[in-house]
Amino acid sequence: MGAKTRQRSAAPLMYFDSLHALLTMEGHGAYVWTAYLVTTMVIATVLLAPLRRRRHFLVQLAAELKRAKGASGTSTRGER
Amino acid sequence: MWSFFHKLGSPPWLYAISGVILRWLLPLTLLALAVGVTWGLLFTAPDFRQGNSYRIIYIHVPAAVVALAGYYLMAIAGAINLIWRMKMADVAMKAAAPVGAAFTFIALFTGAVWGKPTWGTWWVWDARITSMLILLFLYLGVVALYEAFDNKEAAGKACAVLSLVGMVNIPIIYKSVDWWYSLHQPASIKFTGDSTIDSSMLYPLLLMIASFYALFTCCLLLNMRAELLQREARTQWVRKLASAVRPH
């Protein structure tokens, strides 16, 4: 026990001894991991939503411009 | 100085410069978040009273801090739009609302999950928690109000007024743990006086707070860029961008 304590204070080592200890966190694992998982999902949504919105808008506008160009024949007068 | 403000009012300039900023800021932010989360989850000792559940602090506190700062930004942008009719301020305000709502939701959700093992309950109608819930409704109110108007200028004004009136909630949130008897603990980090948190826990927390600020900035810029394109759909620079897009 003493050796373990010395080892821990000697270097900033990982607190948990095993993957199982990390997942269960002495009974608090479910709370901690749920909090981190939901936060990750919310952050991913907030980051990806505007990227998708921007992409969707540009693709739609590109199609619209192509249609307008097609409707006005080969001339480029339709473009503003 | 003035030329900077002039440029700030130019949508193509803002779109271009935000693209350059995001190219650097977004990867750095994600890296800082990964380091902060790993540090907080794996390399810190548990709290002597709360055990490992305290590790939620590394997302709960940064989310709450940034949710409040985001509200300031939204209200100030609203005020600038009301007083100087600056269109870009309106864009910033509209972009901040959903991001602020998401960060407030994270603060409330992680608080509830932290509350269960610590206080024995998911939720209490406590001054701090209730005022944070009101903050979430204020953010969602701004999002909904924007959608409710067809006239975007009127929507911007109404939302600016709503967010300015909602500012009254901010000091209540800050002071709620001092003014009322509360289950919620008082602030651990203090600008004046000693912080009541050990430095081994403080450094990863400060890193996470800085990362969440950067994350908020990234989300804000991404939303502003999407909004700018839609508002400027009829202009030459947006059409030029669209014509360079491959449709798949």
Whether residues B42 and A22 touch (CB distance < 8 A) is answered with yes
Average pLDDT, integer, range B133-140:
96
CB–CB of B53 and A31 under 8 A? yes
- Residue B138 reports pLDDT greater than 80: yes
CB contact under 8 A, A80 and B63: no
Q: Work out the minimum CA distance from A71 to partner chain B, whole angstroms.
A: 16
Residue B174, min C-alpha distance to chain A (Å): 23
Task: Identify the pLDDT of residue B206.
Answer: 94
Largest CA distance in chain A: 85
Q: Which of B44, B117, B241 sits opposite A28 (nearest CB)?
A: B117
Using the Cβ of B63 and the Cβ atoms of chain A, whether some distance falls under 8 Å is answered with yes
Average pLDDT over residues B235-239: 91
The nearest alpha carbon in chain A to B221 belongs to A50
Chain A segment 2-21 residues within 8 A of B by beta carbon are 12-16
Across-strand partners of B51?
B47
Q: Which of A15, A35, A38 is opposite residue B44, by nearest beta carbon?
A: A15
ipTM, interface predicted TM-score of the complex: 0.89
Instruction: Output the pLDDT for position B39.
Output: 92
pLDDT band at B227 (very low <50, low <70, confident <90, very high): very high
Q: Does A67 touch chain B (CB under 8 A)?
A: no
Average pLDDT of the residues in B174-199: 73
- Give the burial string for B81-93 (b: 16+ CB within 10 Å, else e): bbeeebbbbbbbb
pLDDT at B195 over 70: no
Say what the pTM is: 0.88
Q: Which residues of B touch A28 (CB under 8 A)?
A: 51-53, 55, 117
* Closest by Cβ to B113, choosing from A12, A35, A57: A35
* Phi, psi for residue B107 in degrees, rounded to 5: -60, -45
Residues of chain A with pLDDT under 70: 1-12, 73-80
Percent of chain B scoring above 70 in pLDDT: 95
Q: With left for phi above 0 and alpha for psi between -120 and 50, is residue B5 left, alpha or beta?
A: alpha
pLDDT at position B71: 95
pLDDT score at A5: 42
Q: What are phi and psi of B51, to 5 degrees?
A: 70, -145
* CB neighbourhood size of B49 (10 A): 7
Q: Where would I find the H helices in B85-119? A: 87-119
What are the tens digits of pLDDT across the range B46-91?
Answer: 887 788 888 999 999 999 999 999 999 999 999 999 999 888 999 9
Between A57 and B150, the more confident residue is A57
Structure confidence at residue B151 (pLDDT): 86
Mean pLDDT in residue range B13-19: 93
Q: Which region among A61-65, B15-19, B132-136, B205-209 has the lowest average model confidence (pLDDT)?
A: A61-65
Tell me the three state secondary structure of residue B132.
helix
Q: Which of B179, B176, B243 is nearest to A64 (CA)?
A: B243
From the list B53, B229, B243, the residue facing A57 with the nearest CB is B229
* Between B66 and B199, residue with greater pLDDT: B66
Q: Which region among B53-57, B113-117, B230-234, B244-248 has the lowest average model confidence (pLDDT)?
A: B244-248
Residue B235 has pLDDT above 60, yes or no: yes
CB B210 within 8 A of CB B32: yes
Q: Where are the alpha helices (DSSP H) in B167-235?
A: 169-179, 199-231
- Mean of pLDDT over chain B: 89
